[in-house]
Structure 1
Amino acid sequence: MSDAAEILIRDPDPRDEAAWRRLWSGYTKFYQVDVPKAVTALTWSRILDPDSPVFARIAEMGGDIAGFAISTLHPSTWTAGPNCYLEDLFVDQNMRARGIGRALIDDLLHLAKKKGWDRLYWHTDAGNETARALYDRYTKADSFVRYRIPLSDYIEWGNSDREAIG
């Protein structure tokens, strides 16, 4: 039996919280970010809330939680149906190269077709060559550049600043 046949992709259960938090910690450490504990708790709460547009899929292998995909469904101005933004995908460091990341993406593609979503999209760090090797098997990266302003850091510009830029 191949590793891929042993992978179970499923909805999260409240009992998965400790395992998910362990993986979440590895994920945030990989990206060198410090997500406040309250935001982590809120994320888990959103994942379990059936009315939230945020949802997760859990990858289980050999009875152990080996990875997760966290996505957000949202309307789009470019499509009639909803778009699915795959925001976070992570596989336990000790479980990599077994098809778990591929199984998580395949599962989202299956859900997209089944539920009538129009697009699945994601982004990753340009230097994340391992992830990009997997993602390039699905589609090539587009030419868009992302801009992000943390509003906690935002200071409103005066009129003279706006005029100077454009």
Structure 2
Amino acid sequence: MKEVKIESVFQVYEGILELPEDLQELMQKAIEARQKAYAPYSKFYVGVALLLDNNEVVLGSNQENASYPSGLCAERTAIYYAGAQYPKAKILKMAITAASQLRTTLEPIPPCGACRQSISEYEIRQKSPIEMYFMGERGKVVRSYSLSNLLPLIFDKSQL
């Protein structure tokens, strides 16, 4: 038996204003997307802004419905739209923000497991990392240089 240690490294910014100006703008677009979320059941609103290598910015927000589990998270809404509209473009950066009507979200909120798996598919497909920035409603912003930093033991097509 051999023990293996896996570490993740993140950078933590005290707030949006500590980010470089281009990332402040991207996060602001994610905040605007969050305000368009449709979350009447969970009251949890998420917005995403993706920066593509063709300089396009793609937005996404979570979309719920009465058949609660069949809604779609903001991250997947955005990356699937990017994949459908700009299939040859690479996703360079992803800004994520989440807020709740039930309480103030001050801690950074990372993507859920299903979104991590989907983002992983795009990193593998484009053969380059997606830099991710995530936050709550306000407060600290966390940077991960890649999805593989959040999900180090990925399941991918090589295992099929």
Please classify the TM superposition score into its range, dividing by the shorter chain length.
0.3 to 0.5
| TM-score (normalizing by structure 1) | 0.32
Structure 1 or 2: larger helix share?
1
Structure number with greater Rg is: 1
Relative contact order: is structure 1 or structure 2 higher (C-alpha 8 Å, sep ≥ 6)? 2
The TM-score with structure 2 as length reference comes to 0.32
